[in-house]
Amino acid sequence: MSPQNSQVTVGETGEFGLIRAVTKGRKQPAPTLLGPGDDAAVVATPDGRVVASTDVLVQGVHFRFDWSSPGYVGRKAVAVNLADIAAMGATPTSVLIGLACPPDTPTAVITELVDGMWVEASAVGVGIVGGDMVRADQLVISVTALGDLGGRAMITRSGARPGDVLAVRGRLGWAAAGLAVLGRGFRSPVGVVNAQRCPEPPYDAGPQAAEAGATSMIDISDGLLADLGHIAAASEVGIDVQTERLEIATRLLEVGSALGADPLTWVLTGGEDHALAATFAPGPPLPEGWRRIGSVTMPGTGVTVDGKPYEAPPGWEHWR
């Protein structure tokens, strides 16, 4: 249901009526010992360490209802957070939702939004265990994700060393291509547009990389080059991306040709695909599904492309 088609608003439904509407009948996974209904949730942490991450999505900045349905927005809100948990080498266990919206927001928008959140969470075996709802001038979603390391070492951004192999798992450039298509007023190709509406992070790749001995890892949210810059800074190394190793899907080539855009730019600097990039010690084969795209170099070079500095902006940055 579109935001314009509903008659009942959240102001008429009320805070507790809305909470009942989005929590009733939801089945929680095994790690949830106590779900919504009390002052706080209780989630099992077999490893003894809790991995936590929070993201905020603002209407008009991170999503638009003329481009995406509330269901897709809900899925995206959960996906971008669970990708951060995976990037630490952990398995997601639960999420908490903070929601702010105007009182005239149609209740159906919120229920569809939360339905989408449950679709994404349930696909990964994750429960929505609690949260909060408040009044605001615009729709804002805050998601806190929790995860469990399962006895694995946490994978941070600071472990890369010169000589390591740089690899990636997941799609690159698709969400940026979808944004370009939507920005031109088109709604197809559907696969590209849906990549912008909701990412498909490789959730299993984080624990997989950790078990394979990854030395560093990061979720690609703001652009490959921009996020690799965080690894380079934290590890005090250089990183070189080799464009001949990058995969540019035929569909991106077609969209680039139609829009007069270079799809390589989407792959290098486009955000919101939430692929994972990691570094591995040289020698052993990469884990299944990971593909090499470059290497870790000596400090002082920053992030380069084919051995040269990248002159254009490396990705997205807020307030710029």
The amino acid sitting at 84 is D
**Tell me, what's the pLDDT at 319?**
53
For 38-62, what is the mean pLDDT? 92
For 266-283, what is the mean pLDDT? 96
CA dist 283 and 298 (Å) reads 18
Strand 165-169 versus strand 276-280 pairing type? antiparallel
Residue numbering of the annotated binding site: 39, 53-55, 62, 84, 131-132, 157, 219, 221-222, 272, 316
CA dist 89 and 66 (Å) reads 35
CA dist 148 and 31 (Å) reads 10
For 285-303, what is the mean pLDDT? 96
Could you give the count of Cα atoms lying within 13 Å of 226 in the half-sphere of its Cβ? 20
Which of 252 and 30 is assigned the larger pLDDT?
252
- How many helices, marked H, and strands, marked E, lie in the chain? 10, 13
Q: Which domains does the chain have, with CATH numbers?
A: 10-148 (3.30.1330.10), 165-309 (3.90.650.10)
**Tell me, what's the pLDDT at 18?**
86
**Tell me, what's the pLDDT at 15?**
80
CA dist 73 and 263 (Å) reads 25
**Tell me, what's the pLDDT at 25?**
82
In the predicted structure, residue 131 carries a pLDDT above the cut 60: yes
The tokens of 235 are what? 């590890």
Confidence label for 3 from pLDDT (cuts 50, 70 and 90): very low
**Tell me, what's the pLDDT at 21?**
85
In the predicted structure, residue 1 carries a pLDDT above the cut 50: no
Q: Give pLDDT tens digits for 164-207.
A: 999 999 999 999 999 999 999 999 999 999 999 999 999 999 99
For 109-120, what is the mean pLDDT? 97
Name residues whose C-beta falls within 8 Å of residue 189's C-beta, 6 or more positions apart in sequence.
181, 251, 254, 255
CA dist 153 and 214 (Å) reads 10
DSSP SS3 for 238: strand
Name residues whose C-beta falls within 8 Å of residue 193's C-beta, 6 or more positions apart in sequence.
178, 181, 182, 186, 187
Residue numbering of the annotated binding site for ATP: 131-132, 157, 221
**Tell me, what's the pLDDT at 5?**
46
**Tell me, what's the pLDDT at 320?**
55
Residue numbering of the annotated binding site for substrate: 62, 272, 316
For 114-136, what is the mean pLDDT? 96
Q: Give pLDDT tens digits for 90-114.
A: 999 999 999 999 999 999 999 999 9
Confidence label for 212 from pLDDT (cuts 50, 70 and 90): very high
Residue numbering of the annotated binding site for Mg(2+): 39, 53-55, 84, 132, 219, 222
For 223-240, what is the mean pLDDT? 98
**Tell me, what's the pLDDT at 291?**
98
- Secondary structure of 270-315 as H, E, C letters: CCCCCCEEEEECCCCCCCCCCEEEEEEECCCCCEEECCEECCCCCC
Residue 51 and residue 150 in contact, taking contact as beta carbons nearer than 8 Å: no
Strand 238-241 versus strand 303-305 pairing type? parallel
Residue 13 and residue 21 in contact, taking contact as beta carbons nearer than 8 Å: yes
